[in-house]
Amino acid sequence: MKLHFTAIQRKLADRDQHEAVAADLARVAGWLQPQLVLVDADPRTVDDALRSAADAIGPAHGIDPALIFDALRRREQAASTALGAGFAIPHARLPGIERPVTAFVRLRRPIAFGATDGLPVSYLLVIVVPRDGADVDHLRMLSLIAELFSQRTFRKRIGAATDTPAAQSAFAEGIATLLQGAHAGRVFP
């Protein structure tokens, strides 16, 4: 009887742990929905793309765009944030914000971004996180973004988006798919 009770306790603990992980993933995944969307932006260089994103994020969130650009540029100079397959996730830590801020930028023309696969980048998800934010949240967010951009359906929808509402809808659907996977037992790092 004691062994049976221990097995039940273990199953309950596993279920509770799974539910806690899924809830945490849902919280972090909620940050992936871009607050800003730029469709058919026309930067010619990586710096132009980062500056466009910084200029959009700054005023919308009361942050100096130059501070955002400098942080994004420093991070990009350390190592390319291009994931490959035409996607990049420029990201940086900043003081003065309480939660992550995301902006999706779809470029009119792809630009060289130093991707390991050598392909130019057409899609950027720019992320600014609190300087003092939890490292595990930041890493989980980056992991979820990589998972999101690996979804073929998401890539097709985001590529076909003709305006901000269509891009927002593509993100909402892609994020929902990620969360369904988490609730089905697929655990992300």
Is 54 part of a structural domain of the chain? yes
- Output the pLDDT for position 168: 93
Which two structure tokens, joined as six digits, stand for 155?
A: 């890539």
In this prediction the pTM is: 0.81
- Output the pLDDT for position 8: 47
- Output the pLDDT for position 32: 83
Is 23 part of a structural domain of the chain? yes
Q: How far apart are CA 29 and CA 21, in angstroms?
A: 12
Q: How far apart are CA 72 and CA 57, in angstroms?
A: 12
In one letter, which amino acid is 151? Answer: Q
- Output the pLDDT for position 10: 54
In one letter, which amino acid is 84? Answer: G
CATH number of the domain that residue 55 is part of: 3.40.930.10
- Output the pLDDT for position 188: 47
Is 189 part of a structural domain of the chain? no
Is 188 part of a structural domain of the chain? no
The secondary structure element, H or E, covering residue 25 is helix 2-30
- Within 10 angstroms of residue 172's Cβ, the number of other Cβ atoms is 12
- Please report how the helices 135-149 and 164-183 are oriented relative to each other, as an axis angle in degrees rounded to 10: 110
* DSSP result, 87-107: EE--EEEETT-SS-EEEEEEE
What pairing do the DSSP bridges indicate for beta strands 87-88 and 91-94? unpaired
In sequence order, the β-bridge partners of residue 35 are none
What domain range includes position 92? Answer: 2-183
- Output the pLDDT for position 189: 44
- Number of domains comprising the chain: 1
Is 57 part of a structural domain of the chain? yes
Q: How far apart are CA 181 and CA 148, in angstroms?
A: 11
Is 33 part of a structural domain of the chain? yes
Which two structure tokens, joined as six digits, stand for 114?
A: 């130093």
Is 155 part of a structural domain of the chain? yes
In sequence order, the β-bridge partners of residue 104 are 37, 125
Strand, helix or coil for residue 42:
coil
* 189 residues of the chain, pLDDT tens digit each: 455 445 444 554 555 445 555 666 677 777 788 999 999 999 999 999 999 999 999 998 889 999 999 999 999 999 999 988 999 999 999 988 888 899 999 999 999 999 999 999 999 999 998 888 767 777 888 888 888 888 889 989 999 998 999 999 999 999 888 888 765 555 444
- Within 10 angstroms of residue 64's Cβ, the number of other Cβ atoms is 13
